[in-house]
Structure 1
Amino acid sequence: MTPLIDKFEVLFEKFNIWIAICVAGSIGLFATLVPFDFFSRKLGGRGLEWLNEGAEYGLYAGVFLSSAWVLYKGAHVRVDIILTALPARIGAKVERAIDLSGALLCLLMAYFGAKGTFSSYIFWSLPDKDLQVPNWIVLGVFTVSFVMLAIEFLFRYRRAGRPDHEISTDIGF
Structure 2
Amino acid sequence: MRVIDRICDVLAVIAGLYLVWIMLAIVVSALARTLYLSGTWSSHLFTFSEFGLLYIVMAASPWLVRLRGHVFIELLTAFLPKRIQSGFSRFVAALCVLICAILTYFSLVATIRAYEFGDALMRSLDMPKWLILGAMPIGFGLMGLQFCRFVFGPETLHTGQAGVHE
Shorter-chain TM-score bucket reads 0.7 to 0.9
Shift of 1:40: 2.5
Distance change (3 Å), C-alpha of 1:106 and 1:49? same
- Per-residue Cα deviation, 1:31-73 (whole angstroms, up to 9, x for no partner): 1222222222333323522111111111111112211111111
Partner residue, 2:81: 87
Of the three residues 16, 38, 57, the one matched with 1:63 is 57
Aligned equivalent of 2:123: 129
Partner of 1:110: 104
Residue 33 of structure 2 corresponds to residue 41 of structure 1? yes
Cα distance per residue 1:100-156 (max 9 Å; x no partner): 111111111111111111111110101121122211122211111111111011112
**Matched residue type, 1:144:** I
Query: Is it true that 1:73 corresponds to 2:67 in the alignment?
Result: yes
- Compute the displacement of 1:167 (Å): 5.1
Q: After alignment, is 76-85 or 36-45 more displaced?
A: 36-45
- Distance in 1, matches of 2:38 and 2:91, equals 55
TM-score by length of 2: 0.86
Residue 143 of structure 1 corresponds to which residue in structure 2?
137
The aligned counterpart of 1:4 is none
**Percent identity of paired positions between Structure 1 and Structure 2:** 20
Q: Structure 1 residues 85, 33: closer, same or farther in 2, change over 3 A?
A: same
Q: Residue 73 of structure 1 contacts residue 170 of structure 1 at CA under 8 Å; is this kept in 2?
A: no
Per the normalisation by structure 1, the TM-score is: 0.83
Work out the CA distance in 1 between the residues paired with 2:67 and 2:8.
10
> In structure 1, how many angstroms separate the alpha carbons of the residues matched to 2:165 and 2:73?
17
CA–CA distance in structure 1, aligned partners of residues 93 and 112 of structure 2: 28
Matching residue's letter, 1:113 = S
Gaps of 5+ in 2: none
- Indicate if the aligned counterparts of 1:126 and 1:134 stay in contact, CA closer than 8 A: yes
- Report SS of the residue matched to 2:121: coil
**Which residue number in structure 1 is paired with residue 6 of structure 2?**
14
Is contact 2:89–2:158 with CA below 8 Å preserved after alignment? no
Gaps of 5+ in 1: 1-8
| 1:42 maps to amino acid | T
Instruction: Give the aligned partner of residue 26 of structure 1.
Output: 18
